[in-house]
Amino acid sequence: ETRVYVRKHVDFPRTPSANDNQYCNLMMQRRRMASRGNCKTINTFVHTAPGNLIPVCTNQPDRALRTTGQRFPVTVCKLISSKPNCTYRGNRYNHRVQVGCLGGRPVHLTHATSLTYK
């Protein structure tokens, strides 16, 4: 499950692209989340080494949702059209990341936010 999480949500170092929209169109296809007729609506890529997200899940119960104290560079890709191909708009942020934990490791990214969670 960690491998799937990394494939869907971690891109470090960030894949070079001309702009954020092109980045999203490329990465959503490359990571198998956008194919004709099957377009994921929204996805966040975190631009840090996968190991940097593990501490947030250390000693946490399974299925716990935890938010990082540290902000990470992220790109949020939102679907703007699904015909004829999946087309995305990308935006970059520095956000905290909320992950779902299993076995002490992140296995799901719920969202990224600029808000502080207590």
Mean pLDDT of all residues in 82-93: 94
Residue extents of the structural domains in the chain: 2-113
CB 51 within 8 A of CB 68: no
The predicted structure's pLDDT at residue 37? 76
CA angle centred on 85, ends 83 and 86, rounded to 5°:
95
The predicted structure's pLDDT at residue 106? 94
CB 73 within 8 A of CB 112: no
Indicate the average pLDDT of the chain. Answer: 92
Q: How confident is the model at residue 87 (pLDDT cuts 50, 70, 90)?
A: very high
pLDDT over 80 at 8, yes or no: yes
pLDDT over 90 at 118, yes or no: no
Query: Per-residue pLDDT tens for 47-73?
Result: 999 999 999 999 999 999 999 999 999
The predicted structure's pLDDT at residue 115? 58
In a 10 Å sphere around its CB, with 0-12 CB exposed, 13-18 middle and 19+ buried, how is residue 117 labelled? exposed
The predicted structure's pLDDT at residue 65? 94
Instruction: Point out the residues that are catalytic.
Output: 9, 108
Cα dihedral value 58, 59, 61, 67, nearest 10? -40
**Domain covering 2-113, topology:** P-30 Protein (3.10.130)
